[in-house]
Chain A
């Protein structure tokens, strides 16, 4: 952001002045179109040669541009590949775009440049049918192998009800099961070493230790993991395609279900992007209400992780205590929003309604109650010698490895890097709050737990500040695109009445443009990259979730450990399947 111009100058100095075509976007991220033949060179330069390099491949996705409105000044490409890079030194993003005119383009793979590009490219292939030249395993990742078509292409049907009734005949079951058959040769895995035969152990998609429908195939030498191949996509709900037919307003409940433990945190990530697009500044009260709800959900999400992690490594009782505390949070959430896990309570330009009378007492009671419990859990879990034995020195990755693989959030901070988007790129008024960013040093499973436990205390500090300094004022911003529209603006004349009616029935029309958000969600950096064609629904909506790259790293960090350690590693990673597959 700050160094946008200097980055462009450096790029132009290296590649020539007319190589890049800048584009203005609503989020003020430096956006450059680049030619096909320079993709690898430019990305290598940005990662390895430039001063203050862009070390993190934040996201890689594509857009099917074939149905764009021509009047919006859009270059008539058929497909665009979009690379989002992030530089920690510069604290800024860069967005690089490459346009293709072919129906089924082929793009050079950058999987040798960034370790985490592998899955992103597989996803683009699966969703768009775009091939990546030089990719080692370009197979479908989210859809079943037997799938015909590529769902995010505009010609692919969106609704299940458009695709004819579903029937599961016996031979179809056999066919699908055969497609799920694991073939080690496909992944370049040996069946035996010089002195032993490897065993291939299939864990999931239905297994209590995988926290959801995740499948991992392990290559085992005795009890030791030689390699692991995660198979995801069993939880793919087509959230990105869904956005293309929902209005800006009615997409909100879908965001709740992306990281389903994060509740309103997802609403916030989505709204940060939408409000940038609309140019809405929300009142202070809205900011603080949102922060309070999100931090409550951060604690709730961490509590689920805490309990299930302890259970994964053999402690059966903590989960019962922690779920009880989570219920206390849900009591507050329920009083405020009326919902529990999926409150669907934030709105474009505000929140659904004002805080109810008496919310202070509820929040205060929780603030009084919770620290004692956390202390008790320290004794019960964190200081437990068996817990330590199962988690210390397990699943270690260094800071460099973490960045190479796109790790964000508590998992990154456990490597000793104090990076929190709430501090570094404050959004929704986080700059007004006083809190620390906990870190740990070793980057093992235990340290990931240390960071999360400390984060719960910091979240509680933030909630306390929300309680003490809740600003007065409106709970919706006074902007024409606020949804639902503010009633007082209507009933003046036919024009205001119609505007209100359209805003309620069709929903708002967002101006043409694109914007991306990046927030510190419960599990890491969560962002929505939205392209608007000036319509009542997004032209394309991309959800960058933290769990996707985390899961991709699994094979790398499990090698050499035992099967029992795998469960510690999975538990410490804190992922949600809906956050991986969307």
Chain B
């Protein structure tokens, strides 16, 4: 699906071209499949569930405030009930006492639903290899994106959200009966570490911590 926005106060630029029949149609007619259109909609409005466990939740909340402004990515509509939310962010430590409740809340979310595991505790237990902590939320929930950090900065959380949005836009969910596979077809998971490897290995000069 190709799309773009034209600015209302700049009509000349928007119609630059040959003014051909094809071009005019392209500007006013959208051709797509329903599946693509729905995926596009989902991708651009990921509504998080108002759910926090510990420290990470404070950083997640910070991402909604003006300096970071997660509203830029259509994810500022925090839902108080799981039934209205698209994405559950496991922001913090997954406690054994809390695990059955997390599971139930996840079950209460409507399909399609996604899970972001935010922070080391939710990813793997992190520094809390201790009797009361589940060593990673993926022990009982399917996780779509892992955000590392303890806690991750709001920017890191937003990057995780963007990664999820990117993958949601590519997800294929049959809206009706289809020929072939009936299940949800998910794009391959992205390994950010690999993707950044080259750029990172070129970073050789760093600012000294002795200066502001």
Q: Tell yes or no: B129 within 8 A of A by CB.
A: yes
Let me know if B128 and A323 touch, CB within 8 A: no
Q: Evaluate whether A160 and B133 lie within 8 angstroms (CB atoms) in the complex, with A143-B97, A236-B97, A237-B95 already known.
A: yes
**Contact partner of B65 among A253, A323, A357, CB < 8 A?**
A323
- In the complex, residue of chain A having the shortest beta-carbon distance to the beta carbon of B121: A237
Let me know if B54 and A242 touch, CB within 8 A: no
Q: Tell yes or no: A271 within 8 A of B by CB.
A: no
**Alpha-carbon gap, A168 to B95, bound state (A):** 12
Contacts of B99 in A (CB 8 A): 166, 168, 176
Contacts of A144 in B (CB 8 A): 96-97
Contacts of B36 in A (CB 8 A): none
The B interface is mostly helix, strand or loop, or mixed, namely: loop
Q: Evaluate whether A242 and B100 lie within 8 angstroms (CB atoms) in the complex, with A237-B133, A260-B58, A324-B66 already known.
A: no
Q: Tell yes or no: A540 within 8 A of B by CB.
A: no
Let me know if A236 and B212 touch, CB within 8 A: no
Let me know if A357 and B62 touch, CB within 8 A: no
Interface footprint category on B? 35 or more
Q: Tell yes or no: B125 within 8 A of A by CB.
A: yes
Q: Tell yes or no: B5 within 8 A of A by CB.
A: no
Q: Mark A346-387, 1 if CB is under 8 A from B, else 0.
A: 000000011011110110000000000000000000000000
Q: Tell yes or no: A161 within 8 A of B by CB.
A: yes
Let me know if A160 and B134 touch, CB within 8 A: yes
Q: Tell yes or no: A35 within 8 A of B by CB.
A: no
**Alpha-carbon gap, A446 to B105, bound state (A):** 35
Q: Mark B181-212, 1 if CB is under 8 A from A, else 0.
A: 00000000000000000000000000001111
In the complex, how many angstroms separate the beta carbon of B126 from the nearest chain A beta carbon?
10
Let me know if A335 and B53 touch, CB within 8 A: no
Q: Mark B92-104, 1 if CB is under 8 A from A, else 0.
A: 0101111111011
Within B63-77, which residues are at the interface with A (CB < 8 Å)?
Answer: 65-67
Q: Tell yes or no: B150 within 8 A of A by CB.
A: yes
In the complex, how many angstroms separate the beta carbon of A162 from the nearest chain B beta carbon?
8
**Alpha-carbon gap, A448 to B151, bound state (A):** 29
In the complex, how many angstroms separate the beta carbon of A73 from the nearest chain B beta carbon?
31
Q: Mark B75-111, 1 if CB is under 8 A from A, else 0.
A: 0000010000000000001011111110111000000
Q: Mark A241-285, 1 if CB is under 8 A from B, else 0.
A: 110000000000110010011000000000000000000000000
Contacts of B58 in A (CB 8 A): 260-261, 304, 341
**Alpha-carbon gap, A161 to B128, bound state (A):** 10
Let me know if B95 and A235 touch, CB within 8 A: yes
Let me know if B210 and A354 touch, CB within 8 A: yes
Q: Tell yes or no: A151 within 8 A of B by CB.
A: yes
**Contact partner of A206 among B101, B132, B135, B211, CB < 8 A?**
B101
Let me know if B151 and A341 touch, CB within 8 A: yes
Q: Tell yes or no: B157 within 8 A of A by CB.
A: no
- In the complex, residue of chain B having the shortest beta-carbon distance to the beta carbon of A327: B67
Let me know if A160 and B135 touch, CB within 8 A: yes
Q: Mark A148-182, 1 if CB is under 8 A from B, else 0.
A: 00010000111111010111100011001100100
Contacts of A354 in B (CB 8 A): 210
Q: Evaluate whether A166 and B128 lie within 8 angstroms (CB atoms) in the complex, with A341-B58, A356-B209 already known.
A: no
Within B115-167, which residues are at the interface with A (CB < 8 Å)?
Answer: 125, 127-135, 139-140, 150-151, 153
Within A305-357, which residues are at the interface with B (CB < 8 Å)?
Answer: 319-320, 323-324, 326-327, 335, 338, 340-342, 353-354, 356-357
Let me know if A236 and B127 touch, CB within 8 A: no
Let me know if A260 and B54 touch, CB within 8 A: yes
Q: Evaluate whether A235 and B131 lie within 8 angstroms (CB atoms) in the complex, with A206-B51, A206-B101, A578-B55 already known.
A: no
Q: Tell yes or no: A208 within 8 A of B by CB.
A: yes
In the complex, how many angstroms separate the beta carbon of B31 from the nearest chain A beta carbon?
41
Let me know if A166 and B139 touch, CB within 8 A: yes
**Alpha-carbon gap, A358 to B151, bound state (A):** 27
Let me know if A208 and B96 touch, CB within 8 A: no
Let me know if B140 and A237 touch, CB within 8 A: no
**Alpha-carbon gap, A212 to B52, bound state (A):** 6
Contacts of A357 in B (CB 8 A): 210-212
**Alpha-carbon gap, A236 to B99, bound state (A):** 13
**Alpha-carbon gap, A254 to B55, bound state (A):** 12
Q: Tell yes or no: A234 within 8 A of B by CB.
A: yes
**Alpha-carbon gap, A319 to B151, bound state (A):** 20
Contacts of A241 in B (CB 8 A): 130-131
In the complex, how many angstroms separate the beta carbon of B2 from the nearest chain A beta carbon?
36
Q: Evaluate whether A156 and B131 lie within 8 angstroms (CB atoms) in the complex, with A341-B151, A342-B150 already known.
A: yes
User: 11 more A-B contacts (CB under 8 A) besides A257-B55, A354-B210?
Assistant: A143-B97, A161-B129, A165-B139, A206-B101, A235-B93, A238-B133, A323-B65, A324-B67, A341-B58, A353-B210, A356-B209
Ordered by A's residue number, 17 sampled pairs between the chains whose C-beta atoms are within 8 Å are A143-B132, A151-B131, A157-B131, A160-B130, A180-B101, A206-B105, A234-B97, A234-B101, A236-B95, A237-B95, A324-B66, A335-B212, A353-B209, A353-B210, A356-B209, A356-B212, A357-B211
B-side residues, CB < 8 A to A, are 50-55, 57-59, 61-62, 65-67, 80, 93, 95-101, 103-105, 125, 127-135, 139-140, 150-151, 153, 209-212
